[in-house]
Structure 1
Amino acid sequence: MINELNFDSIRPYKDNEIHEVFERLKNEHDFLELIKFLYPNFSTENFLKKLLSIQSINEFQAEVIYPYVKEVLRTTTKGITHSGLTDLDPNGHYLFISNHRDIVLDSAILNILMVENNFNTTEIAIGDNLLIFPWITDLVKLNKTFIVNRNLPVRQMMESSTRLSHYIRKTLAERNQSIWIAQREGRSKDGDDRTQISLLKMMNMSGTGTFAENFGELNIVPVSISYEYDPCDYLKALEFQMKRDNPEYKKSQADDLKHMGAGLRGRKGRVHFGFGKPINHSHLQKLNELPKNDQLQELAEMIDQQIHNNYKFFPGNFIADDLFTNHTRHTKKYTEEDKSIFLGYLDEHLSRIDGDRDYLHNVLLEMYANPVKNFYTSDEK
């Protein structure tokens, strides 16, 4: 087993470390500018005084993170709903594997739901590509976030994956601490939610038993995140066009910051989190007899099926599917007014960017239609 000291480079901060971090942050100009933007009703002096009075990570989340996220949700959504959470044990530990729509808010909303339903907050996986400045690393590690290293040379990636796998297993099994991680590296840009085999392969690296024992210990709960409107949809569509026109195109750090800002400030309509049923040892036992690669593929499909089946559809999803497939199969699920509102929304978002309008419009339709396609495909299995 990897010693705990080996986790220091990726783990969240502990309670006894936070004041050293606060002392660093209070001298960071960009952090102070962010505070002015995020908390316009607080003077910087009062905010820092409040920050320096905090004694624990839980208090930091309750006093700093929770109020801000609640205000974002109040002003940019039409409400947050959830299903399936009441079937889980607040005293248990779970590996929440979800589809991924928004860089910041997916895990933030999950933790709001945890707090409001008497669960402990989860630890959050974040890619190091988003840690643009050292103070951002400090800030996210104060919020129970651990780091996933990406784009490493092969040998270093193997070492990093092994460390990450042991960290996840130890956190769940020994500390009884739940974790959130996306089902794939980065967000699903086209709404076609699929669990990466490489993610499951990484998780299995720390297991010492059978396939069923290794994954049963993790207590995986698939989570389906549904936004009525994705505030970053037009930016994702533009990224598709950029890659179409230049296969070598890569999103910059400035682009990541733009996506974060749009995700926080943009309207989202209704938001729903659908919690699936834990995938435990009894569900996995039948996979022990399969070849190793088939085991991982079958597990990925088990996760995907729950994510697809628990997706909450809004009128725009059905409208997009009808228009994208040139069918009228869903017309009873929306009105002409719904259609007018949704198409007006798409036009407004397309007006924010320059490009191949027909192509971009089609990308947006597919983005909203794919969850519907996946639901009906999954239902046929």
Structure 2
Amino acid sequence: MQTEKMKNFDDIRPLYDSEVPSVIQSLVNDPYFRRATEPLIRPLTWEMFSRSMMACRTIFDFQRSIIHPFMKQLIAKTTSELSCVGFEKYNDGSSHLYISNHRDIVLDAAFLNILLFDRGTDTCEIAIGDNLLIYRWITDLVRLNKSFIVKRGVSVREMLDTSRHLSEYIFDTIANRRQSVWIAQREGRAKDSDDKTQTSLLKMLTLHNSAKPSEALRSLDIVPLAITYEFDPCDYLKAKEYQLKRDNPEYRKSQADDIENMRTGIMGYKGRVSFSFGNRINDTLSQIDPETGRSEVLEIAREAIDREIYRNYVFFPINYVAYDLMEKSNTFSAHYTDKDRQFFENYIAGQIAKIEIPGKDHAFLREKLVEMYGNTVKNFVSVT
């Protein structure tokens, strides 16, 4: 039943089970949803797929009957392996805030929920920025899949109230409704894979109990999560964006660019994908003196999250090759062969060949692509 408290979150929350049938009806009748979905569901026909959609009466039905089989098919086509390390520490029915590095617009959270689902654990709610909700059908679809909305396009004057509202929702979800939540460590992807938790994110998370920031963070039971893709299908799009921004500081991605990134990330080959759960940071937070100021608390929390993400990366030969190319060293030469190095060089050249922009700067694009695969090792080295 919808409580008065939950009504306060109607503007950002996922759907209730009672809302599922009408939203699915709307989706099935939406020609834009059909156009986007039909190529992805083959060999199913639209009629078969829409019947399966209409049979769903709850969020769980939708995730079990629609999302899970689609994602398993996608995983089989676009990855060679999806693995999970360290989850057994959290498979006790308790609720957490998973904070991870951010590689893919759609799949970071989608893969996490498949891993949870396959382990018989309740899926988590997903934070998604409203800048990605380009069409009504996308909004309906993500809210069906347990996503709540992070409002980004608000004025400076509205920002504090919006952030407090979000903080209260996340706290209520974890502490009162006992539902885990996933959120990225920063707004937008770290396009060079130099993963750093934004202090502004942690500040937002404390606003439900702003007078006691350390206590506010402890109440969320934060678990850092390291996500590694062997290959990032969007790497060349990210490199392209770097040059466009370098050449024109006013450059901004369009909605079409966002859609291209989402489509490429979903359908492109990712090789081996790993999710590694780090240690919760509550032990670190509990050692903070109660008189410590907010800024210092946030910095301690940020460093703890980053440290856990860095030390839990999973590396592949191309990451070690990239690091040695970046550093002009042979530090990790024992972890790859000459064949691995040549493969990576050929891979980078092939990705650069996909980029079509005026004044294409091959050396700059190569540098950025190498950084995307080497910076994770660089960050690992920094904490070990």
TM-score interval (norm. to shorter): over 0.9
- 8 Å CA contact 1:90–1:119 kept in 2: the answer is no
How big is the shift at 1:281? Answer: 5.7
SS in 2 for 1:223: strand
Q: Aligned with 2:272: secondary structure?
A: strand
2:260 partner amino acid: K
- Hey, what's the Cα distance between the residues in 2 that align with 1:287 and 1:34? 53
Write the letter of the residue equivalent to 1:360. Answer: L
Aligned-partner Cα distance in 2 for 1:343–1:282: 41
- Per-residue deviation, 1:52: 1.0
2:115 aligns with one of 110, 113, 116: 113
1:159 to 161, 164, 171: 161
2:383 counterpart residue number: 378
Tell me the residue number matched to 1:368: 373
Question: Aligned pair 1:78/2:80, yes or no?
Answer: yes
Return the alpha-carbon distance in structure 2 between the equivalents of residues 8 and 283 of structure 1: 32
**Residue 365 of structure 2 aligns to which amino acid in structure 1?**
L
Structure 2 residue runs without a partner (length 5+) = none
Note the alpha carbon deviations across 1:208-248, whole angstroms, 9 max, x for none.
66333211110000000001111100000111001100001
| Aligned length, in residue pairs | 378
Change in 2 beyond 3 A, CA 1:260/1:297: same
Give CA deviations for 1:275-322 in whole Å, capped at 9, x if unaligned. 011222664332534322111011000000000000011111110111
Q: Indicate conservation of the 8 Å contact 1:287/1:295, yes or no.
A: no
Letter of the 1:148 partner, please give it.
V
Structure 2 equivalent of residue 344 of structure 1: 346
Residue range with higher mean Cα deviation, 290-299 or 93-102: 290-299
Aligned residue in 1 for 2:51:
49
SS at match of 2:44: coil
Counterpart CA distance in 2 for 1:159 and 1:333 is 50
Find the partner of 1:176 among 178, 183, 195: 178
Matched-pair contact (CA < 8 Å) for 1:215–1:281: no
Aligned-residue offset at 1:35? 2.3
State the 1:196 CA deviation. 0.3
Corresponding residue SS for 1:226: strand
CA shift for structure 1 position 89: 3.0
More moved, 335-344 vs 308-317: 335-344
One of 305, 327, 330 as aligned partner of 2:329: 327
For residues 180-195 of structure 1, what are the structure 2 equivalents within 5 Å?
180-195=182-197
Does the aligned pair in 2 maintain the 1:184–1:199 contact within 8 Å?
yes
3-state DSSP of counterpart to 1:165 = helix
Q: RMSD between aligned alpha carbons?
A: 1.3
AA of the residue aligned to 1:205 = L
User: 2:150 aligns to what?
Assistant: 148
Q: Which residue of 2 aligns with 1:301?
A: 303
Paired residue secondary structure (2:82):
strand
Matched letter for residue 367 of structure 2: N
Amino acid at match of 1:42: L
Which of these residues, 221, 229, 242, is aligned with residue 219 of structure 1? 221
SS of residue in 2 equivalent to 1:96: strand
Q: Residues of 1 paired with 2:78 and 2:25: CA distance?
A: 32
Structure 1 pair 90/37, CA: closer, same or farther in 2 (3 Å)? Answer: farther
- Post-superposition offset of 1:325: 1.4
User: Higher mean Cα deviation, 278-287 or 317-326?
Assistant: 278-287
What is the one-letter code of the residue matched to 2:6?
Answer: E
- Please tell me whether the aligned partners of residues 223 and 273 of structure 1 are also in contact (alpha carbons under 8 angstroms): yes
* Percent of aligned pairs with the same amino acid: 46
Partners of 1:156 and 1:378 lie apart in 2 by: 38
Q: Which amino acid aligns with 2:349?
A: D
- Which residue of structure 1 lines up, in the alignment, with residue 5 of structure 2? 3
Cα distance between partner residues in 1 of 2:19 and 2:147: 14
SS class of match (2:220)? coil
Aligned AA for 1:28?
A: D
Report SS of the residue matched to 1:126: strand
The one-letter code sitting in structure 1 at the alignment partner of 2:160 is M
Match of 2:30 in 1: 28
Task: Say if 1:212 and 1:285, in contact at 8 Å, map to a contact too.
Answer: no
Give the whole-Å Cα distance in 2 for the aligned partners of 1:190 and 1:299: 23
Determine the C-alpha separation between the residues in 2 that align with 1:209 and 1:281: 20
Counterpart residue type for residue 184 of structure 2:
A
The 1:209/1:160 distance shift into structure 2, 3 A limit, reads closer
Letter in 2 for 1:326: K
SS at match of 2:319: helix
Give the counterpart letter for 1:350 in structure 2: I
Partner of 2:274: 272
1:60 corresponds to which letter in structure 2? F
* Contact 2:288/2:297 (<8 A) preserved: no
The amino acid of 1:80's aligned partner reads L
* C-alpha separation in 2, matches of 1:293 and 1:284: 16
Quote the Cα distance in structure 1 between the aligned partners of 2:232 and 2:6.
39
* C-alpha distance in structure 2 between counterparts of 1:282 and 1:186, whole Å: 27
For residues 146 and 287 of structure 1, the distance between their equivalents in structure 2, rounded to whole angstroms, comes to: 33
Unaligned runs of 5+ in 1: none
Structure 1 counterpart of 2:277, one-letter code: F
Q: Deviations over 1:300-349 (max 9, x none)?
A: 00000000000011111110111111111111110011112122111111
Which residue matches 1:229? 231
